[in-house]
């Protein structure tokens, strides 16, 4: 199904699938007299909840993304994300304000497998991108959200785009429901960046813990405090170091497991998790859990990784058939640690 927002007449469109009907309901809600729409949180950091968001603030968020990416009126976009959540709703709002021609594809793990023409813009999850590598060259601008982009996926993306000699630009997003999708982007390809660049009118700083604070008055009147430890550069760029509740204190040294995991994933394809296990002498002993069968080849590769500090090297390597995950596919560190 294709919706041309430059010539929109909802009553003349045929909404057939369950996903298309949900889109119709959102459009009816959007064009109603109400100043707000209802949005459901994903529940990745707590119990899912539904709250009202001002349409004006959603428009502001949409304009920030479109301006950053240089998206123009009449561009072609594709939506393949659930519209219950902010990610899908914002794809619709961007399409409305920029009058996109919007292709509707039911959300799945392979959303663009039948795509055979070039489009200007799309948003996907990392899993969707993993299953869409052969079609990435058809997308001019792609944003990836919902979870961090792994080092192994970055490698695959860059390799596939080089093979196709593509000019596709791909970005990782940073944001949350409270910021109405994202407030900054980090390029994955063709250049692999370490720092997110925040949009105009977004101010960032750190609290006393070293965690990111966000003030984006066009989308949220409050200063939002996160639990994400960051490094800030040039006032408008930041690098994610790790979640403060994931930090490991081993022998008095603070270790950010996400950084070490990214380093290891550059060398091996397996999912890996660094954990701190209670230890009498160190306080916490650094261990590495690798998903998959135990392998001397993998152990050798890990042993040869040039860790920046000696205490970054795991004291023990464990292999596990399956690392536990949350309902939305993220690694459950708590469950993993409790099961060891």
**Which pLDDT score is estimated for 40?**
73
Given a contact cutoff of 8 angstroms between Cβ atoms, the answer to whether 317 and 287 are in contact is: yes
Q: Comparing C-alpha atoms, which of 143, 166, 179, 144 is closest to residue 68?
A: 143
How large a percentage of the chain has pLDDT more than 70? 97
Binned at pLDDT 50, 70 and 90, residue 11 comes out as: confident
- CA-CA-CA-CA torsion sign (229, 232, 236, 240): negative
Alpha helices in the chain, H assignment, sequence order: 18-30, 55-69, 86-98, 126-130, 151-163, 257-265, 296-303, 333-338
User: The tokens of 120 are what?
Assistant: 């200007």
Q: What is the mean pLDDT of the chain?
A: 92
Of 19-23, 36-40, 174-178, 325-329, least confident by mean pLDDT is 325-329
Whole-model pTM? 0.85
Rounded to an integer, what distance in angstroms lies between the CA atom of residue 176 and that of residue 171? 16
Given a contact cutoff of 8 angstroms between Cβ atoms, the answer to whether 140 and 111 are in contact is: no
How open is the CA angle 18-49-22, to the nearest 5 degrees? Answer: 15
Binned at pLDDT 50, 70 and 90, residue 138 comes out as: very high
User: The tokens of 157 are what?
Assistant: 């993306």
**Which pLDDT score is estimated for 327?**
63
Strand partners, 215: 203, 223
Q: Is the pLDDT of residue 43 over 80?
A: no
Residue partners of 141: CB distance under 8 A and separation at least 6: 69, 71, 120, 121, 122, 168, 169, 170, 171
| CA atoms within a 13 Å half-sphere pointing along the CA-CB vector of 259 | 21
Rounded to an integer, what distance in angstroms lies between the CA atom of residue 69 and that of residue 71? 6
Phi, psi (deg, nearest 5) at residue 330: -85, 150
**Which pLDDT score is estimated for 42?**
57
Alpha helices in 7-148, H assignment, sequence order: 18-30, 55-69, 86-98, 126-130
- The residue written with tokens 């959303």 in the block is 111
Given a contact cutoff of 8 angstroms between Cβ atoms, the answer to whether 77 and 91 are in contact is: yes
Rounded to an integer, what distance in angstroms lies between the CA atom of residue 30 and that of residue 10? 12
Binned at pLDDT 50, 70 and 90, residue 152 comes out as: confident
Rounded to an integer, what distance in angstroms lies between the CA atom of residue 115 and that of residue 132? 10
Q: Which CATH number fits domain 247-338: 1.10.10.10, 3.40.50.2300, 3.30.300.30, 3.40.50.2000?
A: 3.30.300.30
Q: Which CATH number fits domain 2-200: 3.40.50.1860, 3.40.50.12780, 3.30.390.10, 3.40.50.300?
A: 3.40.50.12780
Q: Comparing C-alpha atoms, which of 24, 144, 15, 138 is closest to residue 92?
A: 24
Given a contact cutoff of 8 angstroms between Cβ atoms, the answer to whether 182 and 145 are in contact is: yes
- The residue written with tokens 């489009």 in the block is 119
Q: Is 118 exposed, middle or buried (0-12, 13-18, 19+ CB in 10 A)?
A: exposed
Q: Is the pLDDT of residue 180 over 90?
A: no
Given a contact cutoff of 8 angstroms between Cβ atoms, the answer to whether 98 and 66 are in contact is: yes
Binned at pLDDT 50, 70 and 90, residue 151 comes out as: confident
Region of residue 181 (phi > 0: left; psi between -120 and 50: alpha; otherwise: beta): left
Rounded to an integer, what distance in angstroms lies between the CA atom of residue 139 and that of residue 155? 18
Domain residue spans of the chain = 2-200, 247-338
């Amino acid at each position: 199904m294709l919706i041309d927002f430059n010539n929109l007449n909802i009553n003349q469109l045929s909404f057939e699938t369950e996903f298309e009907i949900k889109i119709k309901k959102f459009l009816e809600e959007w064009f109603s007299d109400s100043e707000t729409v209802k949005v459901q949180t994903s529940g990745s950091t707590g119990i899912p909840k539904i709250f009202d968001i001002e349409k004006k603030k959603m428009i502001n968020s949409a304009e920030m993304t479109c301006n950053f990416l240089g998206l123009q009126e009449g561009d072609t976009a594709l939506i393949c994300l659930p519209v219950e959540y902010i990610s899908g709703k914002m794809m619709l709002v961007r399409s409305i304000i920029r009058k996109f021609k919007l292709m509707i594809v039911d959300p799945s793990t392979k959303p663009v497998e039948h795509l055979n023409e070039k489009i200007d813009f799309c948003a996907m999850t990392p899993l969707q991108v993993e299953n869409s590598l052969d079609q990435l060259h058809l997308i001019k601008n792609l944003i990836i959200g919902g979870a961090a982009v792994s080092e192994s996926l970055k490698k695959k993306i860059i390799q596939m785009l080089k093979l196709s000699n593509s000019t596709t630009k791909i970005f990782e997003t940073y944001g949350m429901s409270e910021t109405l999708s994202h407030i900054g982007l980090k390029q994955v390809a063709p250049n692999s960046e370490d720092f997110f660049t925040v949009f105009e009118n977004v101010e960032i700083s750190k609290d006393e813990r070293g965690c990111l604070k966000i003030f984006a008055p066009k989308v949220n009147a409050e200063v939002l405090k996160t639990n994400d430890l960051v490094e800030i550069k040039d006032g408008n760029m930041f690098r994610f170091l790790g979640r403060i509740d994931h930090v490991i204190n081993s022998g008095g040294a603070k270790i950010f497991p996400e950084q070490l995991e990214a380093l290891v994933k550059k060398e091996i394809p397996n999912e890996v998790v660094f954990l701190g296990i209670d230890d009498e002498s160190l306080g916490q002993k650094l261990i590495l859990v690798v998903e998959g069968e135990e392998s001397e080849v993998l152990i050798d590769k890990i042993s040869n990784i040039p860790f920046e500090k000696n205490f970054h090297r795991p004291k023990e390597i464990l292999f596990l058939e399956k690392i536990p995950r949350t309902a939305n596919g993220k690694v459950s560190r708590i469950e993993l640690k409790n099961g060891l």
